[in-house]
Amino acid sequence: MFERTILTFFLATVVLAPRPTAAALAAEGGTSVTTSTLQQAVLPPGRAIESSIRLGSGTIQYKSAVQMVPVRDENGSMIAQVVTTVYLAANRKPSQRPVTFVFNGGPGAASVFLNFGALGPLRIQFGATGDTPSDRIVLRDNPGTWLDFTDLVFVDPVGTGYSHSFLGQEETQKKFWGNAQDVEYLARVIADWLISNNRLSSPKYLAGESHSGYRLPRITRLLQTRIGIGVKGLILISPILDSAQDFTGDLAPMPWVVHLPSMAAAHLETLGQLDATHMRPIIDYALGDYLVGLVKGRTDPAAMATMADKVSRLTGLNRTFVEESGARIDPQVYVRELHRRAGRLGSGMDSNLTFVDPFPYASTGGNDDPLIEAVVPPATSAIVDFYQRKLGWEVDADYQALSRDANNAWDEGQETQFESYTDLRKAVSLDPGLRVLIAHGWDDLSCPFLASEMLIDHLPAGEDPGQVRVVEYPGGHMFYSRQQSLMALHHDAAALYAAH
């Protein structure tokens, strides 16, 4: 869900359960593993219950389940367990019923946010104006669930949720916590789930948020070319496709360009004017005169003055402040300055979602994003309560909605600029039947929509120009916290599945 540069806080470290015996692991995996390498007990057996949900199209009977997928090394020894939360509609033919694997981002985020915030059959309200971490946890039927057109498998990578490694800390980092290894073992998890559940003949889709914009195109390519599994569709929610959108200094113009329209969107929303009609000229300006002005710099004083005037009007910021900033507005500065007079602090993930500024006289707003901090308690409480009371499945450990250990130890490998755009281009070129939906919130400064639009605009047209679509909705990184945007995403996703 969240970019690594944004994740500056996490929940407390996991309270580990007693270690299993080597005999217990040997019984499960057929191979002895010494207890000195183990970090956590083998999880309890999975559980399943029958459930139902009433939607506008009628009542859907379905199975809710928690299932573990073992991760094995080259010798066949189980070295980790990945927990999946699964929803399977009843009385459907597996060969015709799509199945979608869902991930959040991070790296180090569990899938609970998309599960109970957007796609699953049950939903709690979090991440919108007026929501607080101490709100009563109430799971209600989700009118925006995707269960009416696909089965759902929510995946918690190792170190998140209750998914865990049996290896020591150093080996866990090497095997699981890095760009390359993350893609490798999660592709295998998807394949193993399909095999063990007899779903290889089903249409297969991948959906994910934020960092999964980097993860899922690469997994798709790996499944296509090395494991032998085709993917029908990719749905990327508030994704990052290329880290070049991150700020690397005053001389790189593109980060400023892609963030400006998201700031302008936040200002338009306060005026009640946020829609595609008002956004189009702003995007054109960012890619035109604004970009030219940034490149020219102070060689054209008149253009600089004009740019300061324009950016001030678009963002709602003080004109003098904009001019002194060279019309280059850092997102963290923007969410502070925009609401400073009100004594509030905006979220970089949703500019108009504000909180009381705990340090209103400090020179900066700090690195903690209030939205991230606010959504963790309700999401964590809801999933643990769901497992315990609904499924009757209890684990003697803390649920890691966001894993500090995984994020801090993440290995980016040799990549100074990581991107999945290359793999996305190759995947859609190889398979004209693969369709891609990229969905953004207009107000999101952490993964701005214009970055995706620019990349997709440079894809070869191919046989079907609509093979890859970018759509925007009101809201920020978690735009689905708004009912209107939740239902708009459901509509657009349903159209993608129906096309197959």
CATH of residue 135's domain is 3.40.50.1820
8 burial class (0-12, 13-18, 19+ CB within 10 angstroms)? middle
pLDDT on residue 373: 76
Q: Is there a domain that residue 3 lies in?
A: no
pLDDT on residue 25: 37
Write out the DSSP string of 437-479.
EEEEETT-SSS-HHHHHHHHHTS---S-GGGEEEEEESSSTTG
Tell me how many degrees the CA angle 479-437-430 measures, rounded to the nearest 5: 155
Q: Is there a domain that residue 128 lies in?
A: yes
Q: Is there a domain that residue 5 lies in?
A: no
Question: Do residues 403 and 360 share a domain?
Answer: no
Domain boundary residue, one of 369, 398, 420 = 369
Question: Do residues 304 and 428 share a domain?
Answer: no
pLDDT on residue 19: 33
Whether the Cβ atoms of residue 118 and residue 486 lie closer than 8 Å to each other? yes
Question: Do residues 433 and 463 share a domain?
Answer: yes
Question: Do residues 390 and 300 share a domain?
Answer: no
**Tokens of residue 441, six digits:** 């919130």
Question: Do residues 365 and 494 share a domain?
Answer: no
Question: Domain limits at 481?
Answer: 22-243+375-498
pLDDT on residue 128: 62
pLDDT on residue 3: 43
Whether the Cβ atoms of residue 262 and residue 449 lie closer than 8 Å to each other? yes
Question: Do residues 198 and 132 share a domain?
Answer: yes
Question: Do residues 50 and 149 share a domain?
Answer: yes
Q: Is there a domain that residue 306 lies in?
A: yes
Question: Do residues 212 and 358 share a domain?
Answer: no
Going from the first residue of the chain to its last (500 residues), give the mean pLDDT of each consecutive group of 10, the final group possibly shorter. 39 31 36 36 93 91 98 95 98 94 95 97 78 78 97 98 94 93 97 98 97 95 97 97 66 88 94 95 96 87 92 95 92 86 82 81 66 83 95 94 89 74 93 96 93 90 83 95 96 94
pLDDT on residue 71: 97
Domain boundary residue, one of 319, 346, 369 = 369
Total-model pTM: 0.89
Q: Is there a domain that residue 9 lies in?
A: no
Domain boundary residue, one of 369, 388, 407 = 369
Q: Is there a domain that residue 218 lies in?
A: yes
Question: Do residues 53 and 146 share a domain?
Answer: yes
**Tokens of residue 349, six digits:** 């993930």
Q: How far apart are CA 390 and CA 90, in angstroms?
A: 18
Give the total number of structural domains in the chain.
2
Q: For 198, which DSSP code?
A: T
3-state class (DSSP) for residue 96: coil
Q: Is there a domain that residue 12 lies in?
A: no
Cα dihedral 185, 191, 192, 198 in deg (nearest 10) = 170
Question: Do residues 127 and 58 share a domain?
Answer: yes
Q: Is there a domain that residue 1 lies in?
A: no
Alpha helices in 289-413 (DSSP H): 291-296, 301-315, 319-324, 331-337, 370-385, 404-408
Helix H or strand E encompassing 139: none
Question: Do residues 362 and 281 share a domain?
Answer: yes
Whether the Cβ atoms of residue 311 and residue 322 lie closer than 8 Å to each other? yes
Q: How far apart are CA 242 and CA 423, in angstroms?
A: 11
Residue 189's identity, in one-letter code, is V
Question: Do residues 302 and 358 share a domain?
Answer: yes
